[in-house]
Amino acid sequence: MEGDGDVASNGGPEQAGTSDPAAGIAPGRVRIDQYGLDLGPWLHLAEERSRLACPSFAHISVAPQGATLGAEVSGVDLGTELPDEVVAEIRQALLDYKILVFRDQPITPAQHVAFARRFGDLEIHPFITGNAEHPELVRFEKGVDTGGFENGWHHDVTWREVPSMGAILHAIQVPVTGGDTLFCDMGAAYGGLDGDTKERIDGLFAIHDFMLAFAHQVPDGKQEEFRARYPQARHPVVCTHPETGRKLIFVNCYFTSHIDGMETGEGVELIRHLADQAKVVEYQFRVRWAPDTVVFWDNRSVQHYAASDYYPDIRIMERASIVGTRPA
């Protein structure tokens, strides 16, 4: 039963727990010292959750899903040329909910590209194979011979000097079960940090390097050429969203190699601690795919994790990524 683990009904954890804010514990939570386990509500989510609870849009229907992120959008056909006022509302909904889910959208690759271009210029990924006729679409075709290696929390392409603003992913073929994508609100993750950690990371910069995740895809003898083409990128550890003003954790274990000016071991430990905030379930939203589901996410606001639990089934997706601005 859900109540069996309640610290108020179990003498052991209640006696072992502490709620001392000076110990780095968020308000309203307690710690089981023996295991370093924090329990209780994340009170800092309440304001954002309340703000998003009652959407008001004139041209689209928006149904909130998660506490601070995730909404299903209906009443639009992404295969058509949408009026400017509809695109404007989709853009605002993206800023509010960070992830938008559109169901039953049998779009062609050309329609996918056309919709994505309504929000900005599109990237062409240098390492992942694209659609043969539309190179702006990265194609993820996973199955028996090609495993899914995206099952780690990350923002997309933070190794670029200018990472993606957002991404639009279309499900073409999905497994019968499994293959979900999880998202984490990195603004909520920052908000849950204790004051000492926020003070410690304020003003720090991290180095992001494509070689961490893509070294195995660089042809033999081409390392120096690719390094010259894609040098390491230096981004703030804490970024401010350029449109909403929210502060966000902007490091991940896929692409962040070290903290600039910090001893390697200490920097790796800090990166790991900050990246681990994405694992907090209360900050997450999970998309369960069906054929022709389209998901649009704000790559500045969220990290994502593609569950690799569907072997030997086939999972085919295509993604358009929209050029962003330099993190600050």
Residue whose entry in the numeric block shows the structure tokens 């290696």: 149
3 state DSSP class of 116: helix
Q: Which of 156, 185, 209, 298 is catalytic?
A: 156
Is 319 assigned a catalytic role? yes
Q: Where are the beta strands (DSSP E) in 161-259?
A: 164-173, 181-185, 205-208, 233-236, 238-240, 247-249, 256-259
Q: For residue 168, which of 249, 91, 240, 85 has the smallest C-alpha distance?
A: 91
Catalytic residue among 112, 208, 315, 319: 319
Give rounded-to-5 percent helix, strand, coil for the chain.
30, 25, 45
What six digits make up the tokens of 166?
């957002």
Active site residue 304: yes
How far does CA 6 lie from the centroid of its chain?
A: 31
Active site residue 273: no
Catalytic-residue membership of 121? no
Q: Are 136 and 123 in contact (CB under 8 A)?
A: yes
- Catalytic residue, chosen from 112, 154, 160, 241, is 154
d(CA 162, CA 233) in angstroms, rounded, equals 9
SS3 category, 233: strand
Contact 168, 109 (CB under 8 A): no
Catalytic pick among 31, 112, 304, 315: 304
Q: Which residues are the active-site residues? A: 154, 156, 304, 319
